[in-house]
Amino acid sequence: MAEKEDKDEWVEKIKKELNEFAIGEYDLDQVFEPLLEACKKVARTYSEFRQCINEGISTLRSVVSRVRY
């Protein structure tokens, strides 16, 4: 049970910090919530949680840079 509480705490701390930033009318904690929740499910440690988030953002950057209009 303590492990789940730790993971919830990781997410809440990051969301609290992200809440201070926005894109248009969307707070960044709302924008990144699906990524945070997915990483919370797969990560066993905080280090893995951070790595998952970084990989998700890196993948987004890579896809955006490949898409041409």
pLDDT at 3 over 90: no
Let me know: does 39 contact 53? Beta carbons within 8 Å. Answer: yes
Token readout for 2 is 């303590």
What global pTM score does this model have?
0.85
pLDDT at 1 over 60: no
pLDDT tens for residues 13-65? 999 999 999 999 999 999 999 999 999 999 999 999 999 999 999 999 999 99
Residue 27, SS3 per DSSP: strand
Sequence ranges of the domains in the chain:
2-66
What lies within 8 Å, CB to CB, of 3 at 6+ separation is: none
CA pair distance 51, 57, nearest whole angstrom: 10
Let me know: does 32 contact 18? Beta carbons within 8 Å. Answer: yes
